[in-house]
Amino acid sequence: MDTSIWRPIIYLICFMAFAGLNAAYLGWCERKGAGRIQRRTGPMEVGFHGLLQPLADGLKLMSKQLLVPEGVDHILFRIAPILAMIPALTSMVVIPFSDNIQGRALELSVLLLFALASIGMIAILIGGWASGNKYAVISAARAVSQNLAYEIPMLITVITIVMITGSMNLQDIAMDQQGGFWHWNIFRFDKSIFMPVSFIIFFICSVAETNRAPFDMAEAESELIAGFMTEYSSMGFGLFMMGEYLNIVVGACLTTILFLGGWSCPFGLFPGVWWFLIKIYILIFTFIWIRWTYPRTQVYKLLNLSWKILIPFSLVNLLVTAAFIKVF
Amino acid sequence: MTVPIQCRPDEVFVLNLGPQHPATHGVLRVKLTMDGEYIVKAEPVLGYIHRMHEKMAEAGSFAQFMPNTARMDYLHALAYNHGYVLAVERAAGIEVPERAEYIRVITVELNRLSSHLLWWAAFLLDLGGFTPLLYAFDDRERILDLLERITGSRLTYCYFRFGGVYNDIDDEFIAGTRDFIKRLRSRLPRMYHDLVTHNIILIKRLKDIGFITPEQCRRYGATGPVARGSGINYDVRKNEPYSVYPEFDFDVPVYTECDSMARYMVRMDEIEQSLRIIEQALDKLPDGPVKAKKVPKILKPPAGDYYAAVEAARGAFGCRLVCDGGKSAYRLKLRSPTFCNLSLFGEVAEGMLLADALAFMGSLDLVIPEIDR
Amino acid sequence: MSIVEETRKALLQLFPEQAAAEAEAEAAAAAAAEAEAGAETETDAEAELTVSEEGGEDAGGEEAAGPAKPAKEEEPVEEGPRENGVLVTDHAARGTHLDVLCDPDQVVEAARIMDAAGFFLEAITGVDWIKEDRMEVIYDYNQTGPEPCRVVVRAFIPRANPEIPTISDILPGANWHERETHDFFGIKFQGHPYLVPLLLPEDADFHPLLKDFTP
């Protein structure tokens, strides 16, 4: 591997640009998608089909005053939005977009990703707590219990994958699934008959982890106004939003790598970064699609879903996989 | 599901829900004493949009009060028009021509449809589903267009007159209404029920939530879909018929589950029943004048008191009119259904989760200007 | 027996005099009928007597209200002082079936009877009769049975000292209605648990529906 200083810098710039573009344009995609689902056009005014809308939104957010209400914890209140953004951005470093596009090929990249995802939850907790707003505190408490509940089945599912591949390196996991969709972890019936179920569990968990509808308990605008974001204005709010979209991208990337074969083509032809992008954007569209078609669940039912259904199922799947690996 | 609340009294906190809150649909404020996410005590605080309509009725003539009626329940304004004109007609002994009665029924039922559609949209919004709002508004928009053609306004109608209605309906309105009925009938099962009513998340959130016993309904005087969702078969249109309702064949949907889902289903079924009534009224629509002759410009009903009740979208709306022989009401009491429906919120919401309480509040179909008057 | 009749019977508990007069009249009517059936050759005089007795019943029980009802349809009213009692009103003309006038301290008992009969409270309201220097409190009851039966219970209280016992411990729905009536008329509902302004501002000390109210 080339050890010149330029390689990390170029990667840094590219990933930052990728992340920034995604954070900005997923907002536009979301609005266009919502418009499509709701039989309206979405943003049309700024630029061609509203393509400059994210730019205008960004300008607006940046030119607004960052209000710090009385009675908030000043330091934590300012740290929280940054803390929401940085882990999501950092996660990008270890994601292999293709066999040769990866910021840093860590041996334990899966572990790092999950560690970073937990920091995102702490950002919500700090933000809600520091706001000194009752709605925000309720939202913070919800977010923590929800994230705890959904990290467990998610991790158990990942352990299954790690057992199959025998590595915690995302690059290895992806390489293991090259060549045709029947090699993808989602369809690997020779390792466990429950792999599709496992994929669904993982996907549900990633929706819940990113606080997206129908699991957006933390912001539940009809119950908690905007939850932990209630007191934030300007870029404080903007960073939370960007953090959320980046988390979606990371979640989609992770799902793609763990279950959908990363950058491999479904028919074993021309593997490359384009397949990876196609897959993550299909997943992201699914995120948007779900958000705009389902009503919100209720917080205790959400926890029940995790503790009573998802965790037992993922445990069973873990056992079955272990048995399959041992037997075959 | 009731979970006992276990906390020291000093560990509860007070949460102000409203008067500016996305789920209260107006300026309702509820003082919630909470233990974590459980509600220990809920106390609605009213009066943020109180305008003292009843005093205005004493100040002006009977006709001058007419526009006020539409400003209480702005979603089912024509029912309020209807209740008020019924009371005044009863007091002054005015006969209404048959065609006018039919037109009244058609427009009131159209208005009821638009009110239920808006409730449906807003209720789903409370539950976090944004998209149904736009689908319901698409249909509601057509009703508003139809009503605008004949009444001249889109929301706060002042269409009824003592002894008739302001304006006759024309062929275009009739054709448009028939088209609309066909359209809504085809959309109702596919878009409203398949996409939303049968959604597992919706069912899970509404089933067994907000349990109101029939006895509670009675003790608090709840009427309308709230009572019918609790198994009380009471609809003013059937039980105490007014206008030409006895001539139509329609059912009163009653569900005995007593939960939010039952109230939801009652309203969804009522949409179908309203369509039936409109269809029959259009078929039977007689010819003739739409306004009674010889209604004096200045009404002076004989002294005494009179009561008239109609079934509004949210329950029984009653108008108690006390006259002293003068040209304005000596006292006009407006009995608004949501006022009573909301009064049981405090008792039922105790021990509920915040999220469930908001779903329950949505299922009561609150219109705040009507509560505060 | 229709629900209106039943309710009327139940409400007559409030007015023993009217009930007694009615029972007497009924007995007389029954006796007359019996007499008629038994001996058709009774003298005209006796028949006349029964007729006059029935007239007496009307006078005793509903008479004071009597002029108020049927008369009102045709002629303008004489707001004659109406005595306490239960009055059957014409629903088509009035919108109600029974009209009860009672003493202020009887409204609790009336509420209890209505509650036992399965009625619900629709509304409570006041009327300020400033010329007669008194206020009227009107309770609207209704029930959800297949047959309509609306009952109005009204009581007059002095304007200078408007007080009436609360019924909110019998029908909790009355709580808000009483608060509202207190807001608008300043009528004090004795024993009400929480008589603070409901629709008016928290610190409101005025009562806008009084006829001598000036903003």
C105: which DSSP letter? G
- Residues in B closer than 8 angstroms to A293, CB to CB, are 129, 131, 195
Task: Say which residue, C2 or B31, is predicted with more confidence.
Answer: B31
pLDDT at C71: 36
CA distance B24 to chain A (A): 9
- Chain-chain contact of A295 with B138 (C-beta, under 8 angstroms): no
Closest Cα in chain B, distance from residue A170 (Å)? 34
Question: CA–CA separation, A102 vs A92, rounded Å?
Answer: 9
Contact status, residue B83 vs residue B69, Cβ threshold 8 Å: yes
Is C199–B331 a contact, with Cβ atoms under 8 angstroms apart?
no
More confident residue, B109 or C24: B109
Q: Which residues fall within 8 angstroms of residue C61, CB to CB, at 6 or more apart? A: C18, C21, C22, C25, C85
Please name the residues in contact with A132: beta carbons below 8 A apart, sequence gap of 6 or more.
Answer: A69, A71, A72, A73, A231
Q: Which of A76-90, B107-121, C192-206 has the highest mean pLDDT?
A: B107-121
Which residue from B minimizes the CA distance to C167?
A: B219
Total domains, chain B = 1
In chain C, what residues touch B54 (CB-CB under 8 Å)? 184, 209
Cβ pair A79, A128 in contact under 8 A: no
CB pairs under 8 A between B and C: 110
Number of domains in chain A: 1
| Closest alpha carbon within chain C to B217 | C120
> From the list C142, C171, C198, which residue is nearest B47 (CB)?
C198
Do A294 and B126 count as a contact with CB atoms less than 8 A apart?
A: no
H helix runs in chain A, sequence order? 6-37, 53-63, 74-91, 109-131, 134-165, 170-175, 195-209, 221-224, 234-259, 273-293, 299-304, 311-327
User: Averaged over C155-176, what is the pLDDT?
Assistant: 87
Disruptive mutation site among B20, B37, B192, B261 for chain A (greatest number of A CBs within 10 Å): B37
Q: Environment class of residue B43 by beta-carbon count within 10 Å: exposed (0-12), middle (13-18) or buried (19+)? A: middle
Contact A43, A73 (CB under 8 A): no
Task: Classify residue B281: in a domain, yes or no.
Answer: yes
Q: Which domain holds residue A121?
A: 69-327
Q: Rounded to an integer, what distance in angstroms lies between the CA atom of residue A105 and that of residue A172?
A: 10
User: Does the beta carbon of C130 lie under 8 angstroms from any beta carbon of chain B?
Assistant: no
| Nearest-by-Cβ selection for A214 from B125, B201, B355 | B201
Distance from CA of A46 to the nearest CA of B (A): 23
Confidence of residue A268 (pLDDT cuts 50, 70, 90): low
Q: Does residue A166 surpass a pLDDT of 80?
A: yes
Residue B31 CB-density burial (10 A; 0-12 exposed, 13-18 middle, 19+ buried)? middle
B199 to A295: CB separation less than 8 angstroms, yes or no: yes
C121 neighbourhood in chain B, CB within 8 Å: 221
Please list, residue by residue across B60-96, b when 16 or more beta carbons sit within 10 angstroms of its beta carbon and e when fewer do. Answer: ebbbebbebbbbbbbbbbbbbbbbbbbbbbbbbebeb
State yes or no: pLDDT of C79 exceeds 60.
no
For chain A, the residues whose C-beta falls within 8 A of a C-beta of chain B are 34, 37-40, 134-135, 138, 141-142, 213-214, 216, 220-223, 225, 292-301
Report the topology of domain C85-174.
Beta Polymerase; domain 2 (3.30.460)
Dihedral sign, Cα of residue A114, residue A115, residue A120, residue A122: positive
Instruction: Indicate whether C12 pLDDT > 80.
Output: no
pLDDT of the residue at C77: 40
Q: How far is C184 from chain B (nearest CA, A)?
A: 9
What residue type is C151 in one-letter code?
A: V
Paired with B30 in beta bridges are B17, B44
Beta carbons of B37 and A138 less than 8 Å apart: yes
The pair phi, psi for residue C133, each rounded to 5°, is 60, 45
pLDDT at residue number B7: 59
User: Chain A residues with CB inside 8 Å of B126's CB?
Assistant: 222
Q: Is A171 inside a domain boundary?
A: yes
Asked if A223 and B37 come within 8 Å (Cβ–Cβ), the reply is: no
Contact B267, B119 (CB under 8 A): yes
First and final C-alpha spacing in chain A: 36
Domain map (residue ranges) of chain C: 85-174
User: What stretches in chain B show pLDDT beneath 50?
Assistant: 1
Instruction: Quote the minimal CA–CA distance from A181 to chain B in Å.
Output: 31
Chains touching B (at least 3 CB pairs under 8 A) are A, C
φ, ψ of residue C167 in degrees (nearest 5): -115, 10
Count of alpha carbons within 13 angstroms of residue C22, beta-carbon side:
16
Three-state DSSP class for B165?
Answer: strand
Q: Which residues pair with A67 in a beta bridge?
A: none
**pLDDT-derived band at C45, boundaries 50, 70, 90:** very low
**Domain assignment of residue A40, yes or no:** no
Contact yes or no for C199 and B343 at CB 8 A: no
Distance from CA of B371 to the nearest CA of A (A): 21
Contacting chains of C (3 CB pairs or more, <8 Å) are B
Indicate if the pLDDT at residue A15 is higher than 50: yes
Statement: residue A294 has pLDDT above 70: yes
Q: How far is C53 from chain B (nearest CA, A)?
A: 30
Please write the tens of the pLDDT for every residue from A209-253: 888 878 887 777 777 778 888 888 888 888 888 888 888 888 888
Q: A76, exposed or middle or buried, with CB in 10 Å at 0-12, 13-18, 19+?
A: middle
Decide if B340 touches C, using CB distance below 8 A: yes
**A135 torsion bin: left (phi>0), alpha (psi -120 to 50), beta (else):** alpha
Residue of B nearest to A297 (CA): B201
Q: Which residues in A lie closer than 8 A to residue B129 (C-beta atoms)? A: 293-296
- pTM here is 0.84
A near C: at least 3 beta-carbon pairs less than 8 Å apart: no
Rounded mean pLDDT of chain A? 84
Place of tokens 């004949």: B150
Closest CA to A110 of A161, A149, A153, A147: A161
* CB contacts, 8 Å: A34 with chain B: 130-131
Contact B354 A138 (CB under 8 A): yes
Gap between the Cα atoms of B148 and B313, Å rounded: 19
**Which range of residues forms the domain containing residue B241?**
54-344
- Mark out the alpha helices in A166-215 (DSSP H runs): 170-175, 195-209
Neighbours of chain A (3+ CB pairs under 8 A): B
Of residues C74 and B162, more confidently modeled? B162
State the smallest CA–CA distance between residue A57 and chain B in angstroms.
22
Is cis: bond before A54, omega within 30 of 0? Answer: no
Query: Would B154 be classed as within a structural domain?
Result: yes
Rounded to 5°, angle at Cα B44 from C118 and B203: 75
Query: What are the chain B neighbours of A220 within 8 Å (beta carbons)?
Result: 128, 355
Q: Is residue A319 part of a domain?
A: yes
The answer to whether the Cβ–Cβ distance between B218 and C93 falls below 8 Å is no
% of chain A residues with pLDDT over 70: 99
- Residues facing B44 on adjacent strands: B30
Q: Is C72 on the interface with B (CB under 8 A)?
A: yes
Q: With an 8 Å Cβ cutoff, are A214 and B354 in contact?
A: no
The distance in angstroms from the start CA to the end CA of chain B is 35
CA nearest to C189, candidates C205, C204, C177, C207: C177
What's the confidence (pLDDT) of residue B4?
Answer: 56
B273, B275, B280, B283 alpha-carbon torsion, rounded to 10°: -170
Which residues, at least 6 apart from A224, have a Cβ–Cβ distance to it below 8 Å?
Answer: A135, A136, A138, A139, A218, A230
What is the distance in angstroms between the Cα of B204 and the nearest Cα belonging to chain C? 30
Q: Output the six-digit token pair for C128.
A: 């300020």
Helix (H) or strand (E) holding B16: strand B13-17
Q: How confident is the model at residue C41 (pLDDT cuts 50, 70, 90)?
A: low
Residue whose entry in the numeric block shows the structure tokens 């979640």: A251
Give CA separation, A219 vs A213, A296, B123, B205, in Å: 9, 11, 18, 18
First-residue to last-residue Cα distance in chain C = 51
How many of the other CB atoms lie within 10 Å of CB of B203?
Answer: 12
Q: What is the pLDDT of residue A261?
A: 79
Instruction: Show contacts of B144-149: CB within 8 Å, 24+ apart.
Output: B144/B114, B145/B176, B146/B110, B146/B173, B146/B176, B146/B177, B146/B180, B147/B107, B147/B110, B147/B111, B147/B114, B149/B173, B149/B176
Reported as a pLDDT band with limits 50, 70 and 90, residue A288 is confident
Q: In this predicted model, what pLDDT tens digit does every residue of C105-156 receive, in sequence order? A: 888 888 888 888 888 888 888 888 888 888 889 888 888 888 888 888 888 8
Q: Is the pLDDT assigned to residue C69 strictly greater than 50?
A: no
For A219, the closest chain B residue by CA position comes to B128
Residues on chain A touching B200 (C-beta within 8 angstroms): none
- Which of C98, C188, C91, C92 is CA-nearest to residue C137? C188
CB C153 within 8 A of CB C117: no
Determine phi and psi for B20, rounding to 5 degrees. Answer: -115, 90
Both structure tokens of B263: 């109230």
What tokens were used for A149? 């509940």
Question: Own/partner pairs for A14-19, CB < 8 Å, 24+ apart?
Answer: A15/A89, A15/A92, A15/A93, A15/A103, A16/A89, A18/A92, A19/A88, A19/A89, A19/A92, A19/A246, A19/A249
Distance CA(A46)–CA(C82), nearest Å, equals 75
| Amino acid letter for position A69 | P
Asked if residue A228 is part of any domain, the answer here is: yes
Cα separation, C22 vs C151, whole angstroms = 20
Q: What is the value of ipTM here, to two decimals?
A: 0.84
